[in-house]
Amino acid sequence: MCTVCGCGDKVVIDGREVSHEEAHRLGLAHSHDHGPVGPGEHTHHHHHRHSHPHRHGDLVHDHPHDHHHDHPHDHSHGPHHDHGDPAHAHAHAHGADDHDHTHDHLHYGTGPAGVSVPGMSQARLIEVETSILAKNDAIAASNRRVLRALGVLALNLVSSPGSGKTTLLCRTIEALGDAPLAVIEGDQQTSADADRIRATGARAIQINTGKGCHLDAAMVGHAIDDLRPRPGSYLFIENVGNLVCPAAFDLGEAAKVAILSVTEGEDKPLKYPDMFTAARLAILNKTDLAPHCDVDLDLCEANLRRVNPGIEILRLSARTGEGMPAWLDWLRARLAEAQA
């Protein structure tokens, strides 16, 4: 479960569920009941209730067929198994052959020794000084090291749903031509966005967060492992459309780019300051619609600078291409920085 926003933790990366591993890696509370499997493997004998189309009339019966499938159906299935309520953590026994915890070193916050306080009989005071988000931040730092070593420019694209992130990405990929790049798409459900990206010829991986309202560093770390971005390439990470939770989760990106469509109203930066404070660049998208929707773009920019005086701002329309050259220049300059 998300440590910030309460969302669920079932994650599917291109049809492969990774939630248990992630939950372990993050040390989150969860429970599961799969049988013993080989070291390091979560084979997941899913207790599916997924909606792929074999209907059996009114018969109620248990399906005898095993689901050791390769997920040929893209992400249309519902919850695989319940990650129980938050009150029970680690209800399962970790048998020696269950799964290999190679990620044990990712448990943070077990550091300093307890300090005993005089006069407190048996009681001890333990200095913790641990951020509640420390685990995510440590994984993000690891992602950042990997990306930096490769000279990859990773950008975390954040916005409300419907601001035009995917369209902007498609146009950007087309405009960048032969430049090597890859895309990580985050959505609660469907692979629709990754499909749109792949239609441009670019490599893309879809992360489905289930009930999750943001990507976290561990999900992105997995996606990087799968994608293996080429040295010196762009890596665009399209976060789940949400102006709140993704602000708190570092993914290891070089910068956050906040996309704000002109139809959303010029006061949005004031309503959701955290996201715009965390962003290096704000893109005012859909400027072709501005004349139709009584929006004051100068006021919008002033509001952006009020919550983040250092923010860079570009106005563009992904649909008409207006303003795209400045965005492409910005990208090339950041890529050069990433390789410096």
Partner 1 sequence: MHEMSLAEGIRSIVLDQARAHGFARVTVLRLEIGRFAGVEKPALDFAFDVVMRGSPAEGARLEMIDLPGQALCYDCAKTVQIADRLDPCPECGGGRLIPQGGDELRIKDMEVL
Cβ-contact 291, 259 below 8 angstroms: no
Cβ-contact 1, 86 below 8 angstroms: yes
Min. distance of Cβ 27 from partner 1 in angstroms?
Answer: 5
CA distance 167 to 69: 32
Q: Where are the beta strands (DSSP E) in 216-338?
A: 234-238, 255-261, 281-285, 312-315
Q: In this complex, which beta carbon is closest to partner 1, that of residue 233 or of residue 242?
A: 242
Burial call 311-340: b when 16+ CB within 10 Å, e when fewer? bebbbbbbeeeebbeebbebbeebbeebee
Contacts of 2 (CB under 8 A, 6+ apart): 8, 9, 212, 213, 214, 216, 245
Q: In this complex, which beta carbon is closest to partner 1, that of residue 136 or of residue 159?
A: 136
Min. distance of Cβ 127 from partner 1 in angstroms?
Answer: 5
Q: In this complex, which beta carbon is closest to partner 1, that of residue 45 or of residue 124?
A: 124
Q: In this complex, which beta carbon is closest to partner 1, that of residue 128 or of residue 326?
A: 128
Cβ-contact 27, 236 below 8 angstroms: no
Min. distance of Cβ 255 from partner 1 in angstroms?
Answer: 15
CA distance 72 to 74: 6
Cβ-contact 157, 283 below 8 angstroms: no
Residues binding partner 1 (CB under 8 A): 1-7, 26-29, 86-90, 107-111, 113-114, 117, 120, 122-135, 244-245, 248, 270, 273-274, 277, 305-310
Q: In this complex, which beta carbon is closest to partner 1, that of residue 209 or of residue 287?
A: 209
Min. distance of Cβ 277 from partner 1 in angstroms?
Answer: 6
CA distance 168 to 192: 15
Cβ-contact 134, 108 below 8 angstroms: yes
Min. distance of Cβ 26 from partner 1 in angstroms?
Answer: 8
Q: In this complex, which beta carbon is closest to partner 1, that of residue 51 or of residue 122?
A: 122
Min. distance of Cβ 28 from partner 1 in angstroms?
Answer: 6
Q: In this complex, which beta carbon is closest to partner 1, that of residue 86 or of residue 231?
A: 86
Q: In this complex, which beta carbon is closest to partner 1, that of residue 106 or of residue 328?
A: 106
Cβ-contact 11, 210 below 8 angstroms: yes
CA distance 3 to 185: 21
Min. distance of Cβ 191 from partner 1 in angstroms?
Answer: 26
Min. distance of Cβ 209 from partner 1 in angstroms?
Answer: 14
CA distance 66 to 46: 9
